[in-house]
Structure formats: C-alpha cells, structure tokens
Amino acid sequence: MTVQVFARVLAYILLAPLVGGLLEGIDRKLSARMQRRVGPPLLQPFYDVIKLFKKQTIAVSTAQSFLLMTYLVMIILTGAMYYGGSDILMCFFVMSTGATFLYFAAIVTSSPYATVGANRELLQMVSYEPAVLLACVGFYLVEGTFSVSEIASSRYSAIMYLPGFFVAFVYILTIKMRKSPFDTSTSHHMHQEIVKGLTTEMGSKNLALFQVTEWYENVFLMGVIGLFIKNSSPISTVAAILVILVVYFLEILIDNSSARVKTDMMIKTSWGVTILCAGVNLLVLMLVR
C-alpha cells in the first residue's frame, strides 16, 4: 500500500463520520425549512450520538451489540477499500454482507416490530441490488476494469457512457438511504411513524452505532456518485462534488415531498427503472463497443 492510498483510507476512517454527520445535519435543517420550521442546530446529529453513547446500555439481546459492531466494521471496510482504489464489485459485496448483520441485529431481539422492519430491509436489498450490480458491469464495460483507482483516472467521465446507469443508481439511492417513499424498514423522521421498524429495540450505544454506521455508508455511496463524474482532470473533482451535493439535495427533496409506498410497489418501480434505464444503456454499450 502506497503512502497516498494509506492517506486516503485513513482520511475516510477518521473524517467519514464527521462528513456524514454534517450531511445529516444539513438534511434535518433543509427538511425543516421545507416544512416551514426552524429545525435543529446543524450539529444536532453529533449531540444526539454523544448523548446515546453516554446512556446506560440496555439491550434485549446481548448478541445485538456484537452484530451491530460487525455491521459497522464491514461498512468501514467497504469505504476503506473503495477510497483505497480497490475493486468496486468487491466493495459492494462487502457492503451487502454487512447489511445481513444489520438484519440479524434486528431479528435477534424477537420483537415483532423489529422483525417486520428486518424483513422489509431484506426486500429493500432485493430492490436495489440489481442496479448496484449493473453499475459495476457498466464501469467494467466502459473502462475494462473494476478498479476504482483506474476508473477515477480515466480520460473521460464514465457518465458520458453510463447515463442510464447513473439514473438507476440515483433512484435506488433513495432506497439505500432509507428515505421516503422507500423508508419501509425504518424512518429517520419521527413524524412518519410511531414504531421505528428494525431499530425499534436499538437503544443507547447500539442505536448510536447504527447511526455512525449510516454516516460511513452515506459517505461511501456519495463517493460512488462522484465516480461517475471523476476523471484524470482536476476540474472533474470539483464537478463531482457539485453533482454529489445536487444529488443529496434531490434525495432530501424527494424525502419531504412523497409518501411511503408499499414494498411491492418499491420492488416494481426500482426494477422497472433499472431495466428501463440501466438495461437499455447496457444494450447500447454492447452494440456500440
């Protein structure tokens, strides 16, 4: 591992929670403004997590803490591999493996509400996995490699050849970030439900671990959005950051302007968009190249 790669990995491990927490603070603030409220302070997510870590740990199942910690480690590994320039297909494989530990952390409590939320989480995975895998295939067809570092150093931005893949990935991003209308497993807004789905039995430190893990995961997902734009030109880095901010704002707007749909509708629409956008784009690539 070179010094530059090590620096990127270390920066992700140390800074991703800070960036993720700030993004959530912006999310809460913009959501409040869209609802004509003042909203909490920008740093409120950090205050909440610190308060949760200080609380006494009371878990329904002792195995839940271990499963959530494993989930956190797997997501950190996912982001570290990605920003280290590793294989993007392997990154998503590790991320999906980590998601299974979240599922077990919910059902191990034997809570009916958490179990329902966990089962819905599995359905969400079924919804977004095809688009994720096709995105990896698209990068390979265009660049001839799964290596993140090689894709990012290409002469041209991948989005020039993968606009349909980009649209499909942004669409399923709403599912992956558990935002309305696809927040079926759990919700980030208290006004949307009384019982919190798969996080129902997560309290104190366990809930804090879940929140920090989501911050790591969101920074990784935003990095994948940037990979569609990034190329060998330094200007592309600025363009990638701008696109990431626009996409994140779009996710907040959708979250605050749509009502939750049923899981079968979520699967139908996500697969439909994936087939229509990414599928057609894939056929065009195969015919042209």
Task: Please report the pLDDT score of residue 45 as a whole number.
Answer: 93
What mean pLDDT comes out for the span 178-204? 75
Structure-block tokens of residue 225: 């959005």
What letter does residue 60 receive in the DSSP assignment?
S
Residue range 205-243, pLDDT digits in tens: 888 999 999 999 999 999 999 999 999 999 999 999 999
What's the rounded Cα separation, in Å, for the pair 193 and 152?
Answer: 41
What's the rounded Cα separation, in Å, for the pair 48 and 68?
Answer: 18
Say which residue, 3 or 167, is predicted with more confidence.
167
Number of Cβ within 10 Å of residue 22's Cβ equals 15
Amino acid at 33: R
What residue numbers bound the domain in which 138 lies?
3-288
Number of domains in the chain: 1
pLDDT at 72 over 80: yes
Q: Give 171's pLDDT tier (boundaries 50, 70, 90).
A: very high
What's the rounded Cα separation, in Å, for the pair 286 and 289?
Answer: 6
What Cα–Cα distance (Å) separates residue 250 from each residue in 19, 33, 170, 207, 238?
A: 18, 15, 9, 27, 19
Measured in whole angstroms, how far is the alpha carbon of residue 77 from the centre of its chain? 14
pLDDT at 57 over 80: no
At residue 241's C-alpha, the angle toward residues 235 and 246, to 5°, is: 125
Residue range 76-126, pLDDT digits in tens: 999 999 999 999 999 999 999 999 999 999 898 888 888 888 899 999 999
Task: Please report the pLDDT score of residue 190 as a whole number.
Answer: 55
Least confident segment among 166-170, 189-193, 261-265:
189-193
Structure-block tokens of residue 194: 């009384």
Task: Please report the pLDDT score of residue 140 as a whole number.
Answer: 93
What's the rounded Cα separation, in Å, for the pair 79 and 106?
Answer: 23
At residue 182's C-alpha, the angle toward residues 97 and 16, to 5°, is: 50
What's the rounded Cα separation, in Å, for the pair 74 and 34?
Answer: 34
- Give the rounded percent of residues in the chain with a pLDDT score beyond 70: 96
What's the rounded Cα separation, in Å, for the pair 75 and 78?
Answer: 5
- Runs of H (alpha helix) within 144-279: 148-152, 163-176, 204-227, 234-257, 263-273
- From the list 283, 115, 129, the residue with the least C-alpha distance to 195 is 115
- From the list 83, 124, 80, 82, the residue with the least C-alpha distance to 100 is 124
Structure-block tokens of residue 231: 């190329």
Structure-block tokens of residue 33: 């403004």
What mean pLDDT comes out for the span 66-85? 94
The rounded mean pLDDT for the chain is 90
What letter does residue 147 receive in the DSSP assignment?
B
**Contacts for 257 with CB less than 8 Å, ≥ 6 apart:** 34
Q: Give 180's pLDDT tier (boundaries 50, 70, 90).
A: confident
Amino acid at 271: W
Paired residues of 177 in beta bridges: none
Task: Please report the pLDDT score of residue 273 as a whole number.
Answer: 94
Amino acid at 91: C
3-state secondary structure of 87: strand
